[in-house]
Amino acid sequence: MHKRWLSAGLILLAVTLSNGLTAHADSDYSNALATAPQGILLDKTDAIMTLGTASMSSAAVVDTTNPAAPNTQAARLTDGPNQFGAVWSTDDNYFNLKEDETVSMWMYFGDKGTKAADGMAFVLQNDSNGIDASPKFGRFGVVGETLGAWGIDKNPVQSSSAGIAATAIQNSWAVEFDTAFNNQTGGHAAGQGNSFDIGYPTAHIASSYPSLATTYHQYVDPGTWGITKTNYYYSLQHNGLITNSKNPGFLANGQWHHVTIHWNDLAETMTYTFNDRNPQTGEQQPGVSRTVRLNQKVIDPTGSNRVRWGITGATGSRWSNNLVVFESTPGNIKANTRTTLTDLTREREIQDRGTTVANDQVRLDYHLDYRDGRQPWSSIIANLKLPESINFEEAKITYSGDRVPEILDVSKIKDNQLLTELGYAMDSAYPSATISLTGRVAPVSKTTKVARTSSTFSSNALIRTVETPAFTINPSIDLNLSVTSGQTVNLKAQEGTTVAGRVDMATNAGTGPLAKLAVTLNKVKLPDVALNADGTFTLPVTNEMLRQGTNTLNLRAVTADGDRSNLVAVTITVTGELKFSYISPNESFQNSTLTDKNQLVHRDGDWQLVVQDTRGTGSQWTLMAQATPFVSEVGAKLGGGPVYVSKRGVTPIGANPTPVLTHTMTDANLDGKFNVAAHWEKTSGVLLAVDSGTTPGNYSGSITWTLEDAPQ
C-alpha cells in the first residue's frame, strides 16, 4: 500500500514539473498563434467580448502571429494544468432569442490527440453572476471534466443530481468540445470527477443543460458489506453527439477548427456545425452538423429574450492549449458578402468551375451588403487574396448612395494579395459597397486551372469570408469563317442547295480545341455541324427547310470554351407564288324563319378559305369575291344575296369581282399560309342578306374567290 501511494505521488510530481517548464514556451502554443486564422480584435475600444472575472479564471487575450491574418487576437482559455478560463459577451452583444442569430469562431484544442484534456464549451447563460459565472469549484479546485460549465462531481456523498446541477453555471445550455475521456466506473469512481462520459465515445462534441438535474445520471457505489458508506458518481446526458470513431483524437490534432452556432427563432432550434471551413485556405466545406431543440425557459426563466454567451475551458492534471478566435457575433452586425467574376470580353459571368480565355478582359467584384444590426459595420479591413493568372490593371470601391468612389492603387498588389481599408462605414442608410478589380487573363499555352481564393473583411465586431470561383483558362483562339459557295443563292420552288465553307483557327495552344458550326435559318436554330479535319464544311439545305421568298442562313464557328468566329449570313431567295391552299367546296347558311324585316343569315358548317403566299415577307394580296344570284328549287330569285362584313362595313357580293380583304405577309407566316375564314367571327365574314319580301324556299348559288397580287 505504501509503495502504491508513493509511486502515485512521484508521478504527479513529475507531471507538475513538466507542465511548469513547458507552459507558454511549448511549440504547440507557438504553432497555434502562428497559424491562427483571421479574426477580430478583442481589446478594442468597442470590444464585443470580455474576459470572465471569476477569481479562478486564467483566460487572457493574446496577439496572434500569423502574417496572413493581421489584426487578429485570440482568447487563451487554458495553457497549463488545473486551469479554468472564460470569455463572455458584453452586455450589448447578447443572443436575441426573438431573432435568428449566428456565432462563428475558430477553436484550437492543442496537439495531444487522445491524451489531450479537457476541452472547451460554448455556453448560453443567464446566471446571476454574469461575466463572473463559473462552476462552484470551492475547496475542490478546478475540475477538468466540467469544461468550465458543467456541475462538479467531486463529492462522493453527493446523493442528488440536483446537487450536482446546483454547482454548474446556472440557467445555461452548453455545447461541449470534450478532448478527454472521463469514463471511470466502479468502486473508486465516486469523488473523482471523472465519469461524465460513461456510455459515450472518446473525444466528442455534444450539448445539454448544465444547470438541470436531469442532465446528470446517478451511479451508486453501495460500499463493501456495509463496512464503507454508500458513495455516488455521475455521468452526463449527451445530446446531438458528434464523434469520429476512425480518428478519436480529431479535436486535439494541432489544427484550428471552424465552428458555427446558429439559432433558428421560428423552429426554436440550435444548430452547431464543426469543421465547416478549411483552416489553411478558409474555403467553405460541408462540416458536420447537429440540430437540437432549445428549451428557452431553462436559459431565460424571466422571458427577457436576451442571453449572454461565451466560451469556457478547464483542465485537470492533464492539459492542453485551448484558444478561440472569434469571427462573427450575434446581433451587432448582420451582413452578407459574395463575389462575381465577369468575362467582359465575352459578356458573361464566370461560374464556379467555369472557363475563360487567355487575354480576355475580366472584372472581379467583391460585394458587401449590410442587412441589419445594432451598430454600423465600420473600420472594415479587406484582406483580398486574388486569383492567380489575372493581371489586374484597375481597382476601385463604389458605395451606395452619393458617396464618392475610391480608387485603389493596384501597384500595392503583392503576391496576389491586396490589403485595404474601406473609407466608409456601412449601415441601413448606406447598405452596400463593391470592390471592383479589372484586368486581363494571363496568356497560357495549355488549359490552366485556377484555384479558389478566400478573402476576409474584418472589423472589431464582424469577420466575413468570401471565395472567388475556381475556373479554367483556355488558350486564346482566333476563328475565321468564310463561305466559299457564295453568300447569295437564288432558287426556284422545290429546289435545295448546299452551302460550303471553311473555318481557319489560329492559337498558341499545342492542340487547338474542337470547333463546330452553329447554324440558324430564319432565326430558328438548326443542329450544329461538325467540321472536317481540314476545317472545311458542307451544309445541305433542302427545299423543305426553306420558305418562298427570302431566307437568311446565319453561320458562326464556336468552341466549347466560348470562342466565336465572325458571323456570316447567307441569303437564299426562293421564287414564290400566290395561290389558294384550300377552299371548302360546299358550304351553307343557317335555316332561317322569314319575317317582315330584312335580316342577315349566319353561316352554317365549317367554312375553309386558306391563302398561301410564298413570295416572302412584305408581299401583299387582295381577296376578291363575286356571286351568282341565289335561286330556289322552283326558280324564284332570293331577295338579297351574299355580303362580306368587316370593320369597314358591309360589302355586297355581286356579279362582278369585288375586293373584300387585303393582307401583307410577315415573318410570323413561316409557311406563307393565311386562313381567312379562321379570322371571321359570328357576325363578320360572309353572311347572307335576305330581304323582307323574300319567298320561302331552299335557295342555292355560288361564290367565286379570286386573288390579286397587289392591294386594291
Which residues partner with 536 through β-bridges?
502
pLDDT, position 2? 34
**What does the alpha-carbon distance between residue 245 and residue 233 come to, in Å, rounded to a whole number?**
26
Residue 605: burial class (beta carbons within 10 Å; 0-12, 13-18, 19+): exposed
pLDDT, position 711? 62
**What does the alpha-carbon distance between residue 196 and residue 559 come to, in Å, rounded to a whole number?**
64
**What does the alpha-carbon distance between residue 172 and residue 298 come to, in Å, rounded to a whole number?**
7
C-alpha cell at 419: 490589403
Report how far apart, in Å, the C-alpha atoms of 72 and of each of 38, 221, 382, 461, 463 are: 6, 50, 13, 12, 10
pLDDT, position 577? 82
**What does the alpha-carbon distance between residue 691 and residue 598 come to, in Å, rounded to a whole number?**
5
pLDDT, position 594? 85
The series of mean pLDDT values per 10 residues for the chain, 712 residues long, is: 31 29 67 94 78 92 91 94 96 91 96 95 97 95 97 96 98 98 93 96 96 97 74 97 95 97 96 95 91 97 96 96 93 89 93 91 97 88 95 97 95 95 94 97 90 90 91 88 95 91 83 88 96 95 89 94 89 89 92 89 94 84 95 92 94 95 83 90 95 91 91 57
pLDDT, position 224? 66
pLDDT, position 372? 87
Sequence-distant (6+) residues with CB within 8 A of 203 are 114, 116, 119, 178, 179, 180, 181, 243, 244, 248, 249, 250, 251, 252
pLDDT, position 712? 52
Residue pointed to by grid coordinates 472547451: 120
pLDDT, position 1? 33
CA-based angle 199:200:202, to the nearest 5?
130
Cis-peptide into 118, omega within 30 deg: yes
Q: Determine contact, residues 149/312, Cβ cutoff 8 Å.
A: yes
**What does the alpha-carbon distance between residue 663 and residue 672 come to, in Å, rounded to a whole number?**
11
Q: Determine contact, residues 492/526, Cβ cutoff 8 Å.
A: no
pLDDT, position 23? 40
| Whole-prediction pTM | 0.63
Which of 133, 132, 134, 154 is CA-nearest to residue 143? Answer: 154
Calculate the dihedral angle through the C-alpha atoms of 221, 226, 228, 231, rounding to the nearest 10 degrees.
Answer: 30
pLDDT, position 549? 81
